[in-house]
Amino acid sequence: MRIGIIVFPGSNCDHDCRFVTQNLLGEPTFSIWHKETKLPPLDVVIIPGGFSYGDYLRPGAIARFSPVMDAVIDFAKKGGYVLGICNGFQILVEVGLLPGALLRNRSMKFICKTVSVRVENNQTAFTSQYQLGQVLSIPIAHAEGNYFIDSSSLKDLNKKNQILFRYVTEAGETSESANPNGSLEHVAGLCNEAGNILGMMPHPERASDLLLGGDDGIGVFHSLQATRTGLNEKS
- Determine which residue in the list 40, 152, 176, 211 makes contact with other proteins, applying CB under 8 A: 211
Query: What's 144-184 look like in SS3?
Result: CCEEECCHHHHHHHHHCCCEEEEEECCCCCCCHHHCCCCCH
Cβ-contact 97, 195 below 8 angstroms: no
- Which of 39-47, 90-98, 162-170, 204-212 is the region at the interface with other proteins (rule: CB under 8 A)? 204-212
For residues 181 and 147, give the distance between their C-alpha atoms in angstroms, rounded to a whole number. 8
Size of residue set near other proteins by CB under 8 A: 29
If the CB atoms of residues 7 and 125 are measured against other proteins, the closer one turns out to be: 7
Contacts (CB under 8 A) with other proteins, residues 8-27 = 9-10, 12-13, 15-16, 19, 23
- Bridge partners of 29, per DSSP, are 3
Among 212, 231, 234, 235, binds other proteins (CB under 8 A): 212
Whole-number minimum distance, CB 98 to other proteins, in Å? Answer: 23
The footprint of other proteins on residues 98-157 (CB under 8 A) is 109-113, 139, 141, 143
Residue 67 CB, nearest approach to other proteins (Å): 13
Q: CB 110 → other proteins: shortest distance, Å?
A: 5
The DSSP bridge pattern shows strands 163-168 and 111-119 to be: antiparallel
Piece of 39-47, 53-61, 154-162, 181-189 that binds other proteins (CB under 8 A) = 53-61
CB 34 within 8 A of CB 66: yes
Beta-strand pair 135-142/111-119: antiparallel
| Residue 203 bears catalytic tag | yes
- Alpha carbon dihedral 104, 106, 188, 137, in 10-degree steps, equals 120
Question: Which residues is 31 bridged to in the sheet?
Answer: 5
Smallest separation (angstroms) from other proteins to the CB of 111 = 6
Amino acid sitting at position 93: V
Report which of 50, 213, 188, 185 is spatially closest to residue 116, judged by C-alpha positions. 188
Active site residue 191: no
57 touches other proteins (CB under 8 A): no
Residues at the contact surface with other proteins, assessed by CB under 8 A: 9-10, 12-13, 15-16, 19, 23, 49-51, 53-56, 109-113, 139, 141, 143, 203, 205-206, 209, 211-212
Q: Any idea which residues carry the catalytic annotation?
A: 86, 203, 205
